[in-house]
């Protein structure tokens, strides 16, 4: 039998019909969550989620992880440590369409709870990693990426969800992670969904970029992203930005 190309693990997510859902309650009041529930989202081999703080990236990534069967606090399908539950119940509202014959495994890399995940992994060693807490934050993060996500040097087929994998990483390390993600997505049956504020990681070749905002969720080209346009503007002339901030500050004080 000819080897069929492995399908992607997650083809689509959409909201289950629920007439009792309270649109004013969290997390349903978040515009991006409403787009996900009402219109649904289709996922290709690589998807990048961007948007301002509080636009709903983590809420959505956590719900996708949980609905898929990954620990919403981070880790693989097997990792079940728990600290304090802060996730919404959004996972229960989602209907996922999985790829026919696709892998069911995966990994959720979540910057916010890496400390808890490191502790869990130290107590449940499954690989040759060094002691995570003895590494710098950025080093430990890179260890997770390169050791935990790979099996004999290659990622297993599955869904890899990442929430701000760039946090704690230097520019050079972010570039390394970008190169790592490029290699990952080239593997058969591997699918990536990455929430990020990084202009570097959001440049992942071939990824669909979705920008979350008050308008919901919209597809965008990398060069038109707010985070790219604003950072380019800032780097072009930081003083112009700072002068602007100076002008605003006394005004606000006067109004107060």
Ligand X SMILES: Nc1ncnc2c1ncn2[C@@H]1O[C@H](COP(=O)(O)OP(=O)(O)OP(=O)(O)O)[C@@H](O)[C@H]1O
In the complex, the residues that contact Mg ion under the rule CB under 5 A are 57-58
Q: Does 8 bind ligand X (CB under 6 A)?
A: no
Residue nearer to Mg ion on the CB measure, 57 or 220: 57
- Scanning 84-155, the segments in alpha helix (DSSP H) are 114-123, 137-143
Q: Does 123 bind ligand X (CB under 6 A)?
A: no
How do 10-15 and 94-98 pair as beta strands? Answer: antiparallel
Q: Does 51 bind ligand X (CB under 6 A)?
A: yes
In the list ligand X, Mg ion, none, the entry touching 74 (Cβ below 5 to 8 angstroms by class) is: none
* DSSP three-state, residue 131: coil
Q: Which residues contact 72 (CB under 8 A, 6 or more apart)?
A: 62, 63, 65, 66, 87, 91, 108
Q: Does 26 bind ligand X (CB under 6 A)?
A: yes
Q: Which residues contact 110 (CB under 8 A, 6 or more apart)?
A: 58, 61, 62, 73, 74, 117, 162, 163
Sheet holding 106-110, edge to edge: 75-76, 106-110, 158-163, 190-195, 46-51, 208-213, 216-220
Residue nearer to ligand X on the CB measure, 36 or 46: 36
In the list ligand X, Mg ion, none, the entry touching 54 (Cβ below 5 to 8 angstroms by class) is: ligand X
**Minimum CB distance to ligand X, residue 41 (Å):** 15
Residue in 8, 34, 57, 148 binding ligand X, rule: CB under 6 A? 57
In the list Mg ion, ligand X, none, the entry touching 59 (Cβ below 5 to 8 angstroms by class) is: ligand X
Q: What tokens appear for 251 in the block?
A: 């005004």
**Minimum CB distance to ligand X, residue 57 (Å):** 4
Q: Does 30 bind ligand X (CB under 6 A)?
A: yes
- Binding window for ligand X (CB under 6 A); candidates: 38-46, 52-60, 99-107, 245-253: 52-60
Contact footprint for ligand X (CB under 6 A): 26-27, 30, 51, 53-59, 86
């Amino acid at each position: 039998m000819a080897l069929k190309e492995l399908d992607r693990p997650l083809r689509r997510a959409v909201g289950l019909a629920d007439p009792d859902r309270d649109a004013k309650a969290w997390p349903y009041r978040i515009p991006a969550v409403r787009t996900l529930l009402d219109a649904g989202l289709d996922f290709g081999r690589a998807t990048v989620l961007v948007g301002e703080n509080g636009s709903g990236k983590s809420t959505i990534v956590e719900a996708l992880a949980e609905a898929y069967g990954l620990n919403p606090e981070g880790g693989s399908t097997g990792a079940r440590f728990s600290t304090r539950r802060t996730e919404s119940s959004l996972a229960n509202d989602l209907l996922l369409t999985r790829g026919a014959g696709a892998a069911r495994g995966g990994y959720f890399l979540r910057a916010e709870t890496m400390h808890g995940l490191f502790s869990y992994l130290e107590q449940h060693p499954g690989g040759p990693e060094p002691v995570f807490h003895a590494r710098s934050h950025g080093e430990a993060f890179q260890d997770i990426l390169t050791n935990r996500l790979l099996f004999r040097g290659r990622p297993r087929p599955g869904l890899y969800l990442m929430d701000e994998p760039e946090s704690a990483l230097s520019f050079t390390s972010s570039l390394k992670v970008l190169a790592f993600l490029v290699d990952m997505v080239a593997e058969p049956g591997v699918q990536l969904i990455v929430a990020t504020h990084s202009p570097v990681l959001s440049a992942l070749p071939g990824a669909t970029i979705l920008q979350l905002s008050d308008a919901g969720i919209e597809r965008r080209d990398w060069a038109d992203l707010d985070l790219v346009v604003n950072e380019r503007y800032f780097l072009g002339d930081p003083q112009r930005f700072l002068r602007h901030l100076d002008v605003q500050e006394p005004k606000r004080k006067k109004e107060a």
